[in-house]
């Protein structure tokens, strides 16, 4: 009996959609935190920039060392997972503020 193969792009598309939803929530929460101003707002703005740079550098290193895989699907899935971990952590953290 032939084994059925699932199209990886279906789950990649769903993960991209979930990342988009979480990213939208983080953008809104961060905008509120920054709009409140003060030391906390400034710290959040600086943290946002630092996190984006760190995430990009880490992803670049993974890409150069083969840590993202060799197929387009594995590279896409692992890239989404990399950013999803960061975005989910920010959503949880900012929801408590």
Give the pLDDT confidence of 22-39 residue by residue, as tens digits.
999 999 999 999 999 999
Give the pLDDT confidence of 36-53 residue by residue, as tens digits.
999 999 999 999 999 999
| Residue 14 token pair | 């769903």
Whole-model pTM?
0.84
Give the pLDDT confidence of 54-84 residue by residue, as tens digits.
999 999 999 999 999 999 999 999 999 999 9
> Residue 34 in contact with residue 41, Cβ under 8 Å?
yes
CA distance 52 to 90: 12
Domain ranges of the chain: 32-95
4: pLDDT confidence band, cut at 50, 70 and 90?
Answer: low
């Amino acid at each position: 009996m032939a084994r059925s193969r699932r199209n990886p792009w279906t789950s990649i598309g769903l993960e991209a959609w979930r990342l988009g939803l979480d990213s939208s929530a983080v953008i809104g929460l961060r905008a509120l935190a920054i709009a409140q101003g003060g030391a906390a707002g400034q710290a959040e703005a600086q943290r946002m920039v630092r996190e984006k740079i760190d995430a990009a550098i880490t992803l670049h290193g993974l890409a150069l060392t083969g840590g993202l895989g060799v197929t387009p699907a594995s590279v896409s899935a692992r890239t989404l997972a990399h950013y999803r971990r960061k975005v989910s952590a920010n959503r949880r953290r900012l929801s408590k503020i």
